[in-house]
Every structure is written in C-alpha cells, then in structure tokens.
Amino acid sequence: MQLYGENIGSRLLLGTSLYPSPAILTSAIEASRTEIVTMSLRREAAGGKAGQDFWTMIRTLGLKILPNTAGCHSVKEAVTTAQMARELFGTKWIKLEVIGEADTLQPDVFGLVEAARILCADGFDVFPYTTEDLVVAEKLLAAGCKVLMPWGAPIGTGRGLNNVYGLRSLRAHFKDVPLIVDAGIGLPSHAAAAMELGFDAILLNTAVAKAGDPVAMARAFALGIEAGRTAFLADPMEPRDMAAPSTPVLGKAQLA
C-alpha cells in the first residue's frame, strides 16, 4: 500500500487514546503489527512538559505518526491545529477532522473541503475524515487530497458498516485512490467486510482500546484485515438468488 508516496506494509492504522495504561497500549500496537498510529495534538503541549513521556514512548516504537485535528469544529481551528501538529511532530501528514454535528460527530463536509484546500496548498499530506458521499469525495480530491477516509459509522459506536451500498459505490468510483475506512468499526468481522469490498486499510481506536483484552483484540483485528484483503484478492464468488449444487449431478445413479 502506498500513502503519499510511502510504502506501508500493514493495512491497520491504530489510534492511541483510551487505553488502560501505556504498557497495554505498547503491547496492543505490537500485537496489531501496525506501522501508523494516530495522535491528537491535545496529547502534547508545545514548549512544555505535558505529554512528553507519551510522545517519547511512541517514538521509541519506530512508527509513522499521523497527527489528527480531533475535536475541531471550524476551518480556522482545524488549520491552526494542523500547523501546530506539523511543528510539534515533524511531519506533513495530517488526519483532518472538521466536526459538524455533536451527537454523531459527523464531518462538516463543507468546512472539510475548505480546510483540505488550505492545507494541501500549504504542503500538507491530508487524510480527510469524511462521509461516503461521492460529490464530497470528488471535491476533496480536487482540493489536493490523495487519500480518502470515509466513516463506517459514527466515531466510537462500533456499529460497523452502516452504508455498504455507499461504501461500495465509493470504491467503484475511485479505483485508484487509497480508501481507508475510519470510525465505527467494532469487530474484526466489520474490518474484514470492509477489506472484502476492496478498501485499502482500516483506522480504528475504540474497538481495541475499550476491549476487555486490548492486546488480544488488536491481534484479532490484524488477522481479520489480513483475511479480508486476501479474500478480496482471491476474487470471491458473487451471491446468488437460487441454490446451486456443489456436487455434480451428471453420472448420478438412477434408482428404479
């Protein structure tokens, strides 16, 4: 998988919040075999000591950092947060969130496109958290994004893929664009289903962090994503309306 020109071996991107302890987070990251973790700017404080131990721990794991603009509700707030993250984390990668609705945390797609245009022009590699809307996707790509991150369901709900038709349409329309399902994944089977549709990767946090055993769940997601990707590449059979016998009827004994 290539993301903004960089080769990435793992198709699981993992968030770093809500874990019971730093030790469990470290073990879950290792079990997931991820190469990319997301971090909120709010975990750090530029010029101060807050969050430095956490940042040091993440750096020792040798992972690619994808800062995010979580909690931003306006274009100005998201752009400013992204610029601060670039300075603090030393990367031009940014997961862009512009939240428009408090209960569902649905993206404000109008603000998202505007913020993406500003950040792309400023040299950022933008990973926009968006809906499965085809028109919004077109506008994000026109703004300069080379990766799209549609939600499966609202953040933290664990509902899986709420709109399979919409996600399948998105994949069909943008065959050459890396598509990462972000948000709402609750089970490894949800992740496998998304990969079977042809999506390139999964980004999740809560499903692992809030599991009874985060380390075991991280390992399960790694296996589910691998299974889904392998199934997609194997060209699975199409569903049928009628039964089709798997045992040949030709040559079957005829009883008088």
Per-residue confidence of the chain (256 residues) as pLDDT tens digits?
Answer: 999 999 999 999 999 988 999 899 999 999 999 999 998 876 444 444 545 667 777 778 888 999 999 989 999 999 999 999 999 888 999 999 999 988 888 999 999 999 999 999 999 999 999 999 999 999 999 999 999 999 999 999 999 999 999 999 999 999 999 999 999 999 999 999 999 999 999 999 999 999 999 999 999 999 999 999 999 999 988 888 888 877 776 666 666 6
What pLDDT is recorded for position 51?
Answer: 56
Calculate the CA 70 to chain-centre distance.
Answer: 14
CA–CA distance from 171 to each of 148, 176, 199 (Å)? 10, 9, 7
**Cα–Cα distance between 240 and 130 in angstroms, integer?**
33
What pLDDT is recorded for position 56?
Answer: 77
**Cα–Cα distance between 89 and 76 in angstroms, integer?**
20
What pLDDT is recorded for position 246?
Answer: 78
**Cα–Cα distance between 39 and 95 in angstroms, integer?**
9
Please list the active-site residues: 95
Is 0.85 topped by the overall pTM? yes
Calculate the CA 49 to chain-centre distance.
Answer: 30
Burial track 89-124 (b if 16+ CB lie within 10 A, e otherwise): beebbbbbbbbeeeeebbbbbebbbbbbbbbbeeeb
**Cα–Cα distance between 225 and 63 in angstroms, integer?**
19
